Structure 1
């Protein structure tokens, strides 16, 4: 259900941080004015937003691990957000439908891209509920975590420093999370072990992969 990725190199991280430093940020409630749990800042500068979202979108679409895991059909333009001391984002599930200028998308997966490191701030973990335990993520700069949008999650309060991340939402060609995960695991096994199999057995395995994709995918656009 969760996938950690090495997404950006240091040059890309530096460029995104420079864009953020020169851009204007406003109260994050501008995009969700009725939220009682959102307390952060988000980039509100069209030129900076266009430039940063293209870098991030291109990085996601060129990342093989991300594509193999998410089966992306549409991706919302990633948005840089900041958390300073006292800020947090209380527990919530992401909206099922994300309105965009080109038309709405369904949020099957959410993705957080870390633009600074875990030593740059105290607190601020991404906490995703998993039963009674939950999982906490504070990734290295340039890494990302993708997770199902329906899960309850929060950004814990910052007590020191600043947390800078980008967030986006993905509409998958395989909406069902269980089917998506099963096909991902099957594809991974085929990629890792296919060359060790007899050719006729590997061919049969490929047939299963392709037929499941035909059954479960929304279809190419």
Structure 2
């Protein structure tokens, strides 16, 4: 399941990040790739020890805390510090699957979910779509700035070649309290149903039953 988070970052927050990026240094992104991904990764990233990257992460983390959709879709347990990636003309990230174990911020997590936050307008570059293989076929994403997408890290995916302009994104990986994708999706759908019942039948037996079912399933599915 793919979760769109529209306007995760406000226009002001995106502008703040853009201003910080102008003061930073980009290096080859291949340094953070592992295994076969090293051979297909051709982009640039902010240096991981750059203090300006910490400022960017502060802005993003504050936005995530305020997003109920992010919490309800991910059941986040741990999230790695975001990396900021830049794609110039001719750059791409070929087909790959992200590592099941990812390190950053002094720790290692099991990567259950991947997230990409788009930091500039899609009209500012050509190509550069995030392409993900799914059971229903190839999915392509090129979202407005400030918008984000969260998807299972298990998916085969790539960033198509940028042919013109510059693509700027922030990416990270999440370990969820609910490891299984289908179970997370079920809980997310049940939560959406709860919200409808909360608006239309608050306090009714069916509303209370849905809350009980959600709570009990969450207890069953969560990993301590």
- Band the TM-score falls in, shorter-chain normalisation: over 0.9
Q: Give the 3-state SS of the residue equivalent to 1:85 in structure 2.
A: coil
8 Å contact kept, 2:120–2:169: yes
- How far the C-alpha of 1:195 sits from its partner, in A, is 3.7
For structure 2, which runs of at least 5 residues remain unmatched after alignment? none
CA contact (8 A) 1:113 1:144 kept: yes
Cross-structure match for 1:21: 22
For 2:113, the equivalent position in structure 1 comes to 109
State yes or no: 1:205 paired with 2:210: yes
2:3 corresponds to which residue? 3
Tell me which moved more, 141-150 or 30-39. 30-39
Backbone CA RMSD of aligned residues = 1.3
Q: Secondary structure at the match of 1:94?
A: coil
Q: Please list the CA deviations of residues 69-105 of structure 1 after superposition, one character each: whole Å capped at 9, or x if unmatched.
A: 1110111011111000000000111111111243211
- Corresponding residue for 1:187? 191
SS at match of 2:196: helix
Q: How many residues align?
A: 219
1:136 paired residue among 121, 135, 140: 140
Q: Aligned with 2:149: secondary structure?
A: strand
**Unpaired segments ≥5 residues, structure 1:** none
- In the other structure, the counterpart of 1:148 is 152
TM-score normalised to structure 2 length: 0.94
Distance 1:183 1:159, change over 3 A: same
Q: TM-score, normalised by structure 1?
A: 0.95
Structure 2 CA distance for aligned equivalents of residues 204 and 52 of structure 1: 42
